[in-house]
């Protein structure tokens, strides 16, 4: 009995060691599992944080790119004459959203979802504006083509009108020239010192007192009826205009805008009945030998000319 007692005590001692060892082992296992679980949880949390940081960075970068693209679209629409109200509003909102995103260090799931929704909304707005810009460009090109065609038509009409005006001016000029009176039967004679009219082929200077020029106005169906002025110009042998002794001369204006001195003027009624007109004038000084010229003018045109030789 005495020998069995130590054996039982030894068995009990061994069982205690085994139990203690088991408890220790179980504690180590539990601690290991706790450490493993904690580590895994920390690694998962770190992964989530890194993922969210990447998503935040991506959303911020997207907003920054969208802001640049929005500025470009805004200027394109403005230059094309489109409505920039929606883009201007989006520009302000996007600038505020970008500033907020750049100020975040971390973002939770709700904040990230909100940023993604804003990126999508701005992207859709810019896509819709791409279509609007395409339409505006098409309208601009159509208007440009129309204006070009319109300018071409206007140029053609202006050219046609200019040609019509030119033809009208040419016709008016022809009518004006055709309406100028014509002289018929222009005849030169002279009065001697005794007042007798003579018709010598060569006039003697010592006998000459006054020149006498007579002519008729030819028939003209184009000329306007009514009072007409006719001018007589005498030019002596020295190419000097003759001044009438009564001082009735003056200046006439030619069709070319040149002023010429005249000797005498008469006003008569033109009625297409071949009126006879006579001019008588002295030289206002002793006549010198030479060739004298006599011109008849009306409406700015020279309508007759003759000459006389004095010796």
In this prediction, residue 245 carries a pLDDT of 64
CB 223 within 8 A of CB 179: yes
In this prediction, residue 52 carries a pLDDT of 65
| The domain defined by 183-310 carries CATH number 3.40.640.10 | no
Low-confidence residues in the chain, pLDDT < 50: none
- Compute, in degrees rounded to 10, the torsion defined by CA atoms 221, 224, 229, 232: -20
Which of 236, 226, 213 is closest to 289 using CA atoms? 236
In this prediction, residue 51 carries a pLDDT of 65
Tell me the two tokens of residue 166. Answer: 């030119």
In this prediction, residue 168 carries a pLDDT of 74
- Compute, in degrees rounded to 10, the torsion defined by CA atoms 123, 128, 129, 134: 130
In this prediction, residue 37 carries a pLDDT of 67
| Residues facing residue 270 across a β-bridge | 226
What is the pTM for the complete model shown?
0.49
Cα gap 43→51, rounded to integer Å: 12
Domain spans in the chain, listed from the N-terminal domain onward:
4-135, 183-310
| Residues facing residue 216 across a β-bridge | 184, 276
In this prediction, residue 45 carries a pLDDT of 59
Phi/psi region, residue 31 (left: phi>0; alpha: psi -120 to 50; beta: rest), is alpha
Classify residue 256 by its DSSP letter: T
């Amino acid at each position: 009995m005495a020998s069995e007692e130590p054996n039982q005590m030894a068995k009990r001692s061994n069982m205690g060691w085994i139990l203690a060892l088991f408890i220790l082992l179980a504690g180590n296992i539990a601690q290991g599992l706790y450490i493993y679980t904690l580590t895994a949880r920390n690694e998962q949390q770190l992964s989530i944080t890194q993922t969210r940081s990447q998503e935040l960075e991506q959303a911020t970068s997207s907003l920054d790119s969208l802001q640049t693209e929005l500025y470009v679209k805004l200027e394109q629409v403005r230059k094309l004459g489109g409505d920039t109200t929606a883009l201007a509003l989006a520009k302000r909102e996007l600038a505020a959203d970008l500033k907020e995103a750049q100020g975040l260090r971390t973002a939770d799931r709700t904040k990230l979802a909100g940023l993604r929704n804003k990126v999508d909304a701005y992207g859709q707005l810019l896509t819709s504006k791409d279509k609007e810009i395409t339409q505006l460009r098409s309208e601009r090109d159509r208007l440009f083509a129309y204006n070009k065609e319109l300018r071409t038509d206007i140029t053609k009409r202006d050219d046609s009108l200019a040609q019509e005006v030119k033809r009208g001016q040419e016709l008016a000029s022809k009518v004006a020239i055709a309406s100028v009176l014509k002289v018929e039967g222009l005849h030169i004679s002279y009065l001697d010192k005794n007042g007798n009219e003579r018709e010598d082929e060569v006039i003697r200077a010592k006998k000459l007192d006054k020149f006498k020029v007579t002519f008729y106005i030819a028939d003209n169906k184009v000329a306007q009826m009514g009072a007409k002025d006719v001018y007589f110009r005498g030019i002596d042998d020295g190419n000097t205009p003759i001044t009438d002794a009564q001082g009735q001369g003056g200046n006439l204006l030619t069709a070319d805008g040149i002023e010429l001195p005249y000797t005498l003027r008469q006003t008569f009624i033109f009625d297409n009945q071949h009126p006879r007109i006579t001019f008588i004038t002295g030289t206002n000084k002793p006549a010198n030998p030479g060739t004298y010229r006599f011109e008849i003018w009306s409406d700015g045109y020279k309508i007759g000319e003759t000459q006389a030789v004095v010796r």
